């Protein structure tokens, strides 16, 4: 039987599998569709800052593959190697066994991982925000540090425990810092210390916060951050990371035990292994999402450099907005390559961003209409509820938002994600030499 193998269950792989299966069922086609992923869910990443801030439960932002993908066989594993000429691939299952499968069509949607730099101590002591393990760890770790600071008697250690450094002032880093701030504020009230003693520093090498929302909204965001007591330092990054302090690129030092590295992403490690042309770490593809020179191989989403037909010469940015739509086009074009339907090129004009800035505030620029404050908050929350591809998740997240209106956040570290679980290597699959 003809087989299609999809690698990765993020927005792109998930939408591709759904669309492809639907299209093939419509034609009564007998094609075997498999989706291989290390996880059994599609992660709704835009709400990871809410998970880190203790606003939304991690389970609510994961959409199970089990009953969402009719006609698709889901396989737990991480793809290690692809033989493009032999039409096979090998993957490692959760029990570390290596298995091999063959394919007639291959869809590469392994997404992206946090972009790391060669900064001493970064991989060991900083944590990212790309997985549930990282988000849950950041919440638990911050609360634990605040609890320990409450009973510590060494001033320097207390200062380090009560200081959080977030690196990356684009939308995910900014959303993270305000959510952690809100969590620390609630912790202060409930645990009996002055929340203002918890310091937040947001760093970025750029000269502006969130350049993606434009100057006017960017200034509003900076004002909100200032009002919330976040110390925004632009034109700076980390030079060294140690267990209880960091050194910045201007040689200044900050005592801290919590460092979040949210500076951007690069294509998943599998992409580099293919030995095919890439652009900014992403696999080069044509506008019909085929890999040049390999008509049976397709790719899209964060893993691929998809030409942006609305802005010639550019590639589409790594956002869920594009990933979802590219996934649908992938499904259609893979079906067409098997003789079912007609292919089309990917074309989508960016619809803007929504950025939730914690209690009572957000900014958004849907269809280039600039919104801030409560109207933006309403649009941001409604957008996420609409975009989440499962009613149960919408219900649970909606209830979490409602609960937040009437009650304080729970100040509790559940302890489901350890420091090791949240390492870039374990949680995102980035190959790193272990320092210990």
- Site for ligand FAD, rule CB under 6 A: 7-13, 36-39, 45-46, 48-49, 78-79, 109-112, 129-130, 171-172, 268, 270, 301-303, 318-321, 323, 429
d(CA 362, CA 373): 5
* Nearest-approach distance from CB 81 to ligand FAD, in angstroms: 10
Output the smallest distance, CB 33 to ligand FAD, in A.
15
Residue 232 and residue 279: Cα distance in Å, rounded?
Answer: 31
Q: Name the residue number minimizing CB distance to ligand FAD.
A: 10
Q: Are strands 199-204 and 62-64 parallel, antiparallel or unpaired?
A: unpaired
How far apart (Å, rounded) are the C-alpha atoms in residues 104 and 207? Answer: 48
Cα(7)–Cα(16) distance, rounded to whole angstroms?
11
- Name which of 39 and 101 has its Cβ closer to ligand FAD: 39
- Residue 255 or 372 with smaller CB distance to ligand FAD: 372
Residue nearer to ligand FAD on the CB measure, 229 or 429: 429
Q: Considering beta carbons, is residue 158 or 319 the nearer one to ligand FAD?
A: 319
Residue 178, burial from CB neighbour count under 10 angstroms (0-12, 13-18, 19+): buried
For residues 421 and 137, the answer to whether their CB atoms sit within 8 Å is yes
Least spacing, CB of residue 304 vs ligand FAD, in Å: 8
For the bound state, the minimum distance from the C-beta of residue 188 to ligand FAD, rounded and expressed in Å, comes to 25
Q: Which is nearer to ligand FAD, 198 or 306 (CB)?
A: 306
Burial of 156 (0-12, 13-18, 19+ CB in 10 A): exposed
Q: Which burial class, exposed, middle or buried, applies to 231 when counting CB atoms under 10 A from its CB (0-12, 13-18, 19+)? A: middle
Decide whether 10 or 188 has the Cβ nearer to ligand FAD. 10
């Amino acid at each position: 039987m003809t087989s299609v193998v999809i690698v990765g269950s993020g927005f792109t792989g998930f939408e591709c599998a759904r669309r492809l299966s639907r299209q093939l069922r419509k034609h009564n086609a007998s094609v075997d569709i498999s989706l291989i992923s290390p996880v059994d869910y599609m992660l709704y990443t835009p709400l990871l800052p809410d998970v880190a801030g203790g606003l939304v439960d991690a389970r609510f932002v994961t959409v199970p593959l089990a009953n969402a993908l009719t006609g698709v066989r889901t396989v737990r594993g991480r793809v290690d190697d692809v033989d493009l000429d032999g039409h096979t691939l090998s993957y490692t299952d959760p029990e570390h066994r290596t298995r091999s499968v063959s394919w007639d069509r291959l869809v590469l949607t392994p997404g992206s991982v946090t972009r790391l730099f060669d900064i001493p101590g970064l991989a060991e002591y900083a944590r990212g925000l790309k997985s549930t393990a990282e988000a849950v760890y950041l919440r638990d770790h911050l609360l634990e540090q605040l609890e320990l600071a409450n009973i510590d008697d060494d001033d320097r250690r207390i200062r380090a425990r009560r200081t959080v450094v977030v690196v990356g002032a684009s939308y995910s880093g900014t959303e993270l810092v305000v959510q952690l701030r809100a969590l620390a504020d609630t912790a202060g009230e409930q645990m009996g210390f002055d929340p203002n003693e918890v310091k937040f520093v947001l760093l970025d090498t750029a000269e502006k916060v969130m350049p993606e929302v434009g100057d006017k909204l960017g200034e509003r965001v900076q004002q909100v951050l200032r009002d919330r007591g976040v110390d925004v330092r632009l034109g700076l990054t980390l030079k060294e990371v140690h267990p209880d302090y960091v050194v910045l690129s201007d040689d200044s030092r900050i005592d801290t035990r919590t460092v979040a590295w949210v500076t951007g992403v690069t294509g998943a490690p599998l992409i580099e292994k293919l030995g095919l042309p890439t652009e900014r770490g992403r696999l080069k593809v044509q506008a019909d999402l085929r890999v040049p020179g390999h008509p049976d191989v397709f790719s899209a989403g964060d893993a691929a450099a998809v030409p942006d037909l609305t802005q010639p010469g550019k590639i589409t940015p790594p956002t869920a907005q594009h990933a979802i739509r590219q996934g649908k086009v992938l499904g259609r074009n893979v079906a067409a390559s098997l003789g079912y339907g007609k292919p089309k090129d990917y074309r989508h004009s960016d619809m803007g961003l929504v950025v939730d800035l914690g209690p009572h505030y957000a900014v958004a620029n849907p269809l280039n209409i600039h919104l801030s404050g409560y109207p933006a908050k309403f649009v941001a929350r409604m957008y996420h509820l609409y975009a989440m591809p499962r009613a149960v998740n919408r219900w649970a997240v909606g209830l979490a938002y409602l609960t937040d209106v009437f009650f304080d956040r729970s100040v509790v570290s559940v302890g489901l994600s350890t420091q090791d679980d949240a390492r870039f290597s374990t949680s995102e699959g980035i190959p790193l030499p272990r320092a210990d």
